[in-house]
């Protein structure tokens, strides 16, 4: 088994990961998709794993700060060659971030993203986990079918190399058939959503996973300690 | 350490643990209500109090109308404009075939002017900064809905625009408040803007009262509950 861990007991028990699995997280805006990915990243790093984080929705600096708040010092892991960021966000500002080694000037040119992933993998001598937060950013830039092709190719490569990969998709921001197409090519599907009760309550569900049944919905909270499962 | 700034709504700042993380692109999704003008004005005025400048980009009314409405709530935007702290970019008059009023220095016509949108903001910011030596600029865009319509509800262009606004704020450590009016767009467009926004606030009206909730805020754990929003004695407060 690889060094990948969800960092949430229910998922580490329910979903066996042997390396190379592709995981799609579809969720409502603000429900905690990025936060969940940060928890998983922290667990993988603390488990002596290596992570590549492709960021389209936040700058790498923002992701590092978010990891710091979870008591995971991103810069230290970068110095140890255990963590790399691929910056598909900063090109929007029109200014090249000189401090980012893997800066993608044109995220709509997905071959550039692929090259950056390859270079990062070579530099840190392979990885245990690759996170893409989010696919939605790539779809809006490059189009749904190009991004689908890109994702298929990357999933196949990661499968051969035994690298777990997580892809985040913004629910509600794409047509249902687009979302279903992406669901079909990933081995594991997780859904996250809000339900309005007293305020907004957060839920997560295993929609699909090999050797696991779809789960019932699980209520969770986001706290400074991490993701807390709430049993009703 | 996250740098935070006050929003102009005191209790909102408490919910956000001392204020808005800087930089932030804030989207406020709301029905049409006069409170919006108050929220926009208070957001800018709080910035002026903190040594920041402001740019008000208006697509819904002329700058003169905005200043007059703010004055009805004793919010004297005209005074800040005279001091050089505030500039208006009028995206309303030329778009609707009206003549520009004498007090308008900066204007754009949609949709052609969208290509120069960010250039004009940079130019206006530099003018304010050179005249007043402010540290940063707050931006109000009322409304983002008209930008979406100028793009003919094109999803890719809308998302690119929102993303560019968010990214540009990073380089200037600024705050922007963009207004999206509910019901004017497909819900898929509103959902698309979420990932390109750092903070998403929602406002609703029920029985003549206004309620506000934080739907998303980066770098901050906060409650998602609805709070009543009131304008009382010159202040916006959440109950």
DSSP 8-state symbol, A47: T
| pLDDT confidence of residue B194 | 82
Q: Which residues contact B238 (CB under 8 A, 6 or more apart)?
A: B9, B10, B11, B12, B15, B212, B227, B228, B229
pTM, to two decimals: 0.84
Count of CB atoms within 10 A of residue B99's CB? 8
**Residues on chain A bordering chain B, Cβ-to-Cβ distance under 8 angstroms:** 29-30, 57-59, 62, 65-66, 69, 89-95, 134, 136-137, 140-141, 170-175, 194, 198-200, 222-224
List B175's β-bridge partners, or say none: B24, B138
Tell me how close the Cα of B94 comes to any Cα of chain A, in angstroms: 28
Measured distance CA(A70)–CA(A102) in Å, rounded: 24
Verify whether the Cβ–Cβ distance B170 to A59 is below 8 Å.
Answer: yes
Verify whether the Cβ–Cβ distance B224 to A200 is below 8 Å.
Answer: yes
List A207's β-bridge partners, or say none: none
Measured distance CA(A119)–CA(A8) in Å, rounded: 31
Give whole-number Cα distances, A85 to A104, A130, B152, in Å. 11, 10, 35
Pairing, β B227-232 against β B106-107 = unpaired
Tens of pLDDT along B100-152?
887 889 999 988 888 899 999 999 999 999 999 898 899 999 999 999 999 98
CB-nearest partner of A89 from B155, B167, B216: B167
CB-nearest partner of B159 from A140, A194, A222: A140
Verify whether the Cβ–Cβ distance B221 to A224 is below 8 Å.
Answer: yes
Tens of pLDDT along B147-179?
999 998 888 888 888 888 888 887 777 899 999
* Helix, strand, or coil (residue B13): helix
Measured distance CA(B147)–CA(B161) in Å, rounded: 9
Tell me how close the Cα of A224 comes to any Cα of chain B, in angstroms: 8
DSSP 8-state symbol, A213: P
Tens of pLDDT along B63-80?
999 999 999 989 999 999
Task: Determine the straight-line distance between the first and last CA of chain A, rounded to whole angstroms.
Answer: 32
Residues of A in contact with B188 (CB under 8 A): 172-175
Tens of pLDDT along A177-223?
999 999 999 999 999 998 886 667 899 998 888 776 677 788 888 88
Chain B segment 198-237 residues within 8 A of A by beta carbon are 200, 215-216, 218-219, 221, 223-226
Tens of pLDDT along A107-135?
899 999 999 999 999 999 989 999 999 99
| pLDDT confidence of residue A230 | 80
State yes or no: pLDDT of B224 exceeds 90.
Answer: no
Verify whether the Cβ–Cβ distance B167 to A92 is below 8 Å.
Answer: yes
Verify whether the Cβ–Cβ distance A62 to B218 is below 8 Å.
Answer: yes
Tell me how close the Cα of A168 comes to any Cα of chain B, in angstroms: 11
Cα three-residue angle B225-B231-B234, rounded to 5 degrees: 135
State yes or no: pLDDT of A1 exceeds 60.
Answer: no
Q: How many CB pairs under 8 A join A and B?
A: 81
> What average pLDDT score do residues A87-97 get?
82
* Helix, strand, or coil (residue A175): coil
State yes or no: pLDDT of B10 exceeds 90.
Answer: no
* Helix, strand, or coil (residue B75): coil
- Residue in A151, A84, A140 with CA at minimum distance from that of residue A114: A151
> What average pLDDT score do residues B225-229 get?
86
DSSP 8-state symbol, B98: P
Verify whether the Cβ–Cβ distance A30 to B218 is below 8 Å.
Answer: no
Tens of pLDDT along A9-66?
677 776 766 678 999 999 988 889 999 999 999 999 999 999 999 999 888 998 999 9
Q: Which residues contact A151 (CB under 8 A, 6 or more apart)?
A: A135, A167, A182, A185
Residues of B in contact with A95 (CB under 8 A): 171
Measured distance CA(A138)–CA(A135) in Å, rounded: 5
> What average pLDDT score do residues B4-11 get?
84
Tell me how close the Cα of A166 comes to any Cα of chain B, in angstroms: 17
Tell me how close the Cα of B95 comes to any Cα of chain A, in angstroms: 26
CB-nearest partner of B191 from A57, A172, A199: A172
| pLDDT confidence of residue A67 | 93
Residues of B in contact with A92 (CB under 8 A): 160, 163-164, 166-168
Measured distance CA(A19)–CA(B130) in Å, rounded: 56
Residues of A in contact with B115 (CB under 8 A): none
Residues of B in contact with A58 (CB under 8 A): 218
Residues of B in contact with A87 (CB under 8 A): none
Verify whether the Cβ–Cβ distance A29 to B215 is below 8 Å.
Answer: yes
Residues of A in contact with B155 (CB under 8 A): 140
Tens of pLDDT along B31-56?
988 889 999 999 999 999 999 999 99
């Amino acid at each position: 088994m690889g060094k990948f861990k969800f960092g949430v007991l229910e998922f580490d028990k329910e979903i066996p990961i042997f390396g190379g699995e592709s995981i799609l997280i579809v969720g409502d805006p603000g429900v905690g998709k990025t936060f969940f990915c940060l928890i998983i990243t922290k667990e993988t790093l603390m488990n002596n794993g290596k992570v590549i984080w492709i960021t389209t929705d936040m700058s790498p600096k923002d992701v590092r700060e978010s990891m710091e708040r979870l008591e995971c010092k991103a810069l230290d892991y970068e110095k140890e060659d255990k963590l790399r960021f691929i910056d598909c966000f900063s090109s929007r500002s029109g200014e090249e971030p000189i401090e980012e080694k893997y800066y993608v000037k044109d995220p709509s040119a997905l071959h550039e993203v692929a090259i950056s992933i390859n270079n990062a993998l070579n530099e840190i001598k392979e990885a245990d986990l690759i996170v893409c937060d989010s696919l939605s950013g790539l779809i809006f830039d490059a189009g749904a079918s190009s991004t689908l092709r890109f994702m298929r190719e990357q999933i196949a490569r990661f499968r051969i190399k035994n690298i777990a990969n997580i892809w985040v998709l913004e629910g509600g921001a794409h047509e249902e058939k687009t979302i279903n197409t992406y669901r079909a090519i990933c081995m594991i599907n997780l859904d996250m959503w809000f339900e309005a009760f007293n305020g907004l309550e957060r839920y997560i569900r295993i929609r699909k996973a090999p050797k696991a049944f779809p789960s019932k919905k699980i209520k969770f909270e986001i706290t400074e300690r991490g993701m807390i499962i709430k049993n009703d | 350490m996250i740098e935070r700034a006050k929003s102009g709504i005191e209790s909102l700042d408490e919910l956000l643990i001392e204020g808005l993380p800087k930089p932030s692109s804030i989207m406020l999704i709301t029905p049409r209500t006069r409170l919006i003008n108050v929220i926009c004005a208070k957001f800018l005025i709080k910035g002026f109090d903190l040594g920041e400048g402001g740019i008000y980009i208006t697509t819904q009314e002329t700058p003169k109308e905005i200043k007059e409405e703010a004055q009805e709530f004793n919010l004297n935007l005209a005074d800040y404009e005279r001091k050089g702290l505030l500039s208006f970019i009028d995206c309303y008059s030329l778009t609707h075939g009206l003549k520009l009023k004498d007090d308008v220095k900066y204007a754009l016509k949609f949709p052609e002017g969208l290509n120069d949108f960010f250039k004009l903001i940079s130019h206006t910011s530099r003018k304010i900064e050179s005249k007043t030596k402010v540290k940063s600029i707050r931006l109000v865009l009322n409304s983002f809905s008209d930008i979406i319509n100028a793009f003919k509800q094109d999803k890719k262009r809308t998302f690119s625009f929102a993303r560019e606004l968010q990214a540009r704020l990073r380089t200037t450590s600024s705050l922007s408040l963009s207004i999206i009016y509910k019901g004017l767009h497909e819900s898929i467009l509103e959902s698309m803007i979420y990932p390109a926004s750092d903070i998403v606030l929602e406002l609703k009206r029920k029985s003549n009262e206004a309620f506000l909730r934080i739907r998303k805020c980066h770098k901050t754990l906060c409650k998602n509950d609805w709070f009543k929003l009131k304008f009382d004695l010159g202040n916006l407060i959440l109950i």
